[in-house]
A and B are shown apart, each in its own frame.
Chain A
Amino acid sequence: MSFRQPSVLPGFGLTFGFTTFFLSAIVLLPLAALALAAASLHWSDFVHVVLSPRALGSYRLSFGASFLAAAINLVFGLIIAWTLVRYEFPGRGLIDALIDMPFALPTAVSGIALTTVFAHNGWIGRYLEPWGVKVAYTWVGVTLALTLISMPFAVRAVQPALLEVQRDLEEAAETLGAGRIYVFRRIILPAVLPALLTGFTLAFARALGEYGSVIFIAGNLPMKTEITPLLIVIHLEEFDYHGAAALGVVMLGISFVVLLAINLLQAWGRRRHVRAAH
């Protein structure tokens, strides 16, 4: 087989050449620089950087808060998607459009706005303060910011799956005497499970790398409220390029594993889909 199948259409050389050249220059070459910078670090130094107590503390917060945010979005994403797909209410179209707001809104804006709302004198923060719940400048705030920016991933992953649930099946089950909870557990949940897990993983991946919205609300205390991306920035500001690159490689490696998980989940979902159709 040759590299390319013949076609009457022109322009392959031009567009393919431009695409690969530009991709190499803007994306691949800089990423290679990262790999080289981390590789030029001696193994013991690499371990020293990526397993330092401060780095471990930042992983704990970054992974913990991202996981929690993705879990919150798993629950609320399903509820919101369900509400938007199944119920008619005034303002539904507007709410549906607003779900994408965290995609479009610059992270710095989300960051300062959330901090203001949840500060001890903010609109919501002042009602939480008497209960002893501090949001701004704690890990709770970090989780909240990550929840906001990853929310659209969860909702948008589940929405199409919910639309495809066959309502005939639900009605048949109910006619045969099944309760709503039984129908949800045995018909709806199995149908949307792959989409739910994909949404969870996408939200988790997005939350892990997030920087802009978090640094405003986090307080940024080492070991306590310092996320891994911020630790990378701190290394860079001290001109410790190798340390920054080492942490960057660790984060990239983890993102790669998460992306792999997404692809496997989606393949699993497609297989289930095909099996269900037969």
Chain B
Amino acid sequence: MGAALPSALAGDATRPGQHTWLHSLVRWLFIAVSLTFLAAVLLAPLATVFVMALERGLQAYLHSFADPDTAAAVRLTLTTALVVVPINTLFGLAAAWAIAKFEFRGKSILITLIDLPLAISPVISGMIFVLLFGLHGWFGVWLREHDLSIIFALPGIMLATMFVTFPYVARELIPLMQQLGNDEEEAAITLGAGGWMTFFHVTLPKIRWGLLYGMVLCNARAMGEFGAVSVVSGHIRGLTNTMPLHIEILYNEYNFVGAFAVASLLTLLAALTLVVKTLVERTGYRRR
């Protein structure tokens, strides 16, 4: 995500040659074009989500969450995020410590490999787990003999989600920790602090905002992932349907209030994610 704008550069009024009629015409034209474009492709769809969800009134909106399949989808999405986000956070912390605190050969290759899932189509991210664990996959026969299921079941959904959200915490923490340097940690160790003590009392307080931001991004993607999860889930109502998948089913059944009601929850989650991003940037932590 992008950098916040220093507002010092935005003030135009005092610069010479900036108050001709042509300049203000261009200025308003640019603002108008930008806002029209954003209104058409971004704001109108966002507004539609809530208008459609509330089309039959608040009662119908709230009632759509009482549907047991919808409730199950919400539970499944929350469970998945609760498992995936902490694991990827742990991974992100370990990867950032290894990469930012030490110099070793092949570091740039390691960073590239960590970023790899971001460059892969969600559909392919799901497919690779089907190739491994699906009925005709590498471990398919073995799994069936042992009566285990990964694909079309919860473990598959979690694996696919873990894959697509894999880099999020690490790629926030690595540049941040590289930028902060090692001096304070080295001082702590030299003065006799243990490794864990140094991490919890020296490193963690410095990186907590970046860590929070990475976790929030990871969570947003984990709860919203569609393509990868769609391939491994099997779309069993009430069992393996996450919220985004349940939206698809309701929408295809022309249950628009239900589909947009679930969509409104995910939209609020996205809005919350952006609020956290803005707040974190205000604390002074910025991405490169």
Interface residues of A (CB under 8 A from B): 1, 3-5, 7-12, 14-16, 18-20, 22-23, 26-31, 33-34, 36-37, 76, 79-80, 82-89, 92, 95-110, 112-114, 116-117, 122-124, 144, 147-148, 151-152, 155-156, 159-160, 163, 167, 171, 174, 180, 205, 208-212, 216, 229-230, 232-233, 236, 239, 241, 244-245, 248, 251-252, 255-256, 259
The majority secondary structure among interface residues of chain A is helix
CB distance from A53 to the nearest CB of B (A): 21
Interface residues of B (CB under 8 A from A): 1-7, 9-12, 15-17, 22-23, 26-27, 30-31, 33-35, 37-38, 40-46, 48-49, 52, 91, 93-95, 97-99, 101-105, 110, 113-114, 116-117, 119-124, 127-132, 134-138, 159, 162-163, 166, 182, 185-186, 189-190, 194-195, 198-199, 217, 220, 223-227, 230-231, 243-245, 247-248, 251, 256, 259-260, 263, 266-267, 269-271, 273-274, 277-278
> Judging by beta carbons under 8 Å apart, are A18 and B114 in contact?
no
> Judging by beta carbons under 8 Å apart, are B123 and A229 in contact?
yes
> Judging by beta carbons under 8 Å apart, are A160 and B12 in contact?
no
Tally inter-chain residue pairs, CB-CB below 8 A: 311
B1, B105, B217: the one contacting A152 at CB < 8 Å is B1
Q: Which residue of B lies closest to A151 (CB)?
A: B41
B2, B102, B114, B247: the one contacting A5 at CB < 8 Å is B102
Q: Report the separation of the CA atoms of residues A32 and B180 in the bound assembly, to the nearest whole angstrom.
A: 36
> Judging by beta carbons under 8 Å apart, are A9 and B121 in contact?
no
B30, B46, B103, B127: the one contacting A236 at CB < 8 Å is B127
Q: Report the separation of the CA atoms of residues A212 and B247 in the bound assembly, to the nearest whole angstrom.
A: 11
Q: Which residue of A lies closest to B87 (CB)?
A: A22
Q: Report the separation of the CA atoms of residues A158 and B280 in the bound assembly, to the nearest whole angstrom.
A: 22
> Judging by beta carbons under 8 Å apart, are A3 and B34 in contact?
no
A87, A96, A105: the one contacting B30 at CB < 8 Å is A87
> Judging by beta carbons under 8 Å apart, are A7 and B251 in contact?
no
CB distance from A75 to the nearest CB of B (A): 9
Q: Report the separation of the CA atoms of residues A233 and B124 in the bound assembly, to the nearest whole angstrom.
A: 9
CB distance from A46 to the nearest CB of B (A): 15
In the complex, what residues of A have CB within 8 A of residue B266's CB?
Answer: 105-106, 108-109
